[in-house]
Amino acid sequence: MEEGILEALKAAYGLGVERLDVRRFGSGHIHKTYRVDTGSEDYILQAFNDQVFKFPEHISANQQYLLDQFDPKDLPFSLPLPIVNDRGTFFTHLGGELYRLFPFVNGITKDAIEQAGQAKIASEAFAHFVLIFLQADAERLMDTIVHFHDLEKRFEQFDVALKSPNVQVNSATKEMIGFYHGMRELLEKYLVYRKELPLRVTHNDTKINNLIFSEDMEKVNALIDLDTIMAGFVFYDFGDLVRTVACTKDESSLEWDKIQVDMNKYEGLLEGFYSVLGGKIQQRELESLPFGGEMMTLIMGLRFLTDHLMGNVYYQVAYPEQNLHRAQNQAALLRALIAKRGEIEVLEKKLKNKLSL
């Protein structure tokens, strides 16, 4: 990172140190994230992606609204918000970029987890997030990305990309196009839920690497990536956990034939959501949770494939075919989830009995 930018950041955040040690950090696909070491204190620095998040002021307003609604002490983990700069704002403009600085939270982030017990801990944390804001007026939140989890719109964007693709459509791409077209039946179900279910304050990016666990993996220290907090359905947040936790290979794996649903982790996730939100949200919302696993896997696969067709304009990629590969990975998981519908139903009954729901 340029020396001039670092100097300006030191001034903006009053970091009275000689030297900043700055390294790329994490595995997010949107912002560029750095770990900053000042010798005495660590921070997370983020070069904000304003092509993806076109309304940074909506993010700040949402976070302020939520801060006014709850006492952070009521949460068993932290929600690290950006540090205010010398102008009293969250965003710092430097060299044509927008930067934010966050307190560094100690702990462990994972792209995949090993045990069902950890799945339950992760699930309880995200369910707790929904729980604490149940009384807030979700409709007061502004969209930080319009139509973010709108499956209908995502299919429309897919159709547009198909009309004039910016890449050679090879046979693997054709196969994926066919697969995702075939999944439109899930859209029907989505539209029914969308009519029936209440909007809640949801995190909307509950992939497992957006949690910071304690060193011993016994609890969650923080929930991060708060830019997508908006009004949504509870099944979105459960669904993205299923997508990133209850699978035998993570999103970046190329071993598609080894992708299966891990039913023990699935059980941990369902038990976590049931135990925190059971009796607090509608029965119909509890019933929608497994659909979320399929729907969120579908929407991510569809977005990856659309981005591949568009020529990788949205997600950061390490090589040109990566978005196609991500779409292939998600297709394998979606097939596996659909094949497990019967077993998942049995699990729902078992856990409802166990928790008297």
Name which of 12 and 269 has its Cβ closer to ligand GN1. 269
Residue 304 is inside which H or E element, if any? helix 283-310
Q: What is the DSSP string of 94-127?
A: ETTEEEEEEEPPPSB--SS---HHHHHHHHHHHH
Minimum gap (Å) between residue 205 Cβ and ligand GN1: 5
Q: How many residues make contact with Mg ion (CB under 5 A)?
A: 3
Binding to Mg ion (CB under 5 A) within 181-220 occurs at 210
Look up residue 221 and give its two tokens.
């220290």
Does residue number 241 form part of the binding site for ligand GN1 (CB under 6 A)? Answer: no
Site string for ligand GN1, 286-325 (x = CB under 6 A): --------------x-------------------------
Residue 299 burial by Cβ neighbours in a 10 Å radius (0-12, 13-18, 19+): buried
The distance of closest approach from Cβ of residue 10 to Mg ion in the complex, given in angstroms and rounded to an integer, is 26
Q: Does 202 bind ligand GN1 (CB under 6 A)?
A: no
| Calpha distance 65→142 (Å, rounded) | 10
Q: In Å, how far are 26, 82, 136, 259 from 220, measured between CA atoms?
A: 17, 19, 23, 26
Task: Find which of Mg ion, ligand GN1, none residue 271 binds, CB within 5 to 8 Å per kind.
Answer: none
Q: Which stretch binds ligand GN1 (CB under 6 A): 28-36, 39-47, 69-77, 157-165?
A: 28-36
- DSSP code string of 199-250: PEEE-S---GGGEEE-TTSSSEEEE--GGG-EEE-HHHHHHHHHHHHSBSS-
Handedness of CA 68, 70, 73, 78 (dihedral sign): negative
Binding status of residue 30 toward ligand GN1 by CB under 6 A: yes
Return the residue of 8, 22, 28, 104 that touches Mg ion, per CB under 5 A.
28
Give the residue with the Cβ less far from ligand GN1, 210 or 253. Answer: 210
Contact between 20 and 36 under an 8 Å Cβ cutoff? The reply is: yes
Residue 225 binds to Mg ion (criterion: CB under 5 A): yes
- Answer yes or no whether residue 240 interacts with Mg ion by CB under 5 A: no
Residue 171 C-beta: closest distance to ligand GN1, Å = 25
Q: Indicate whether 80 belongs to the interface with Mg ion (CB under 5 A).
A: no
Where does this chain touch ligand GN1 (CB under 6 A) — which range of 27-35, 135-143, 165-173, 283-291? 27-35
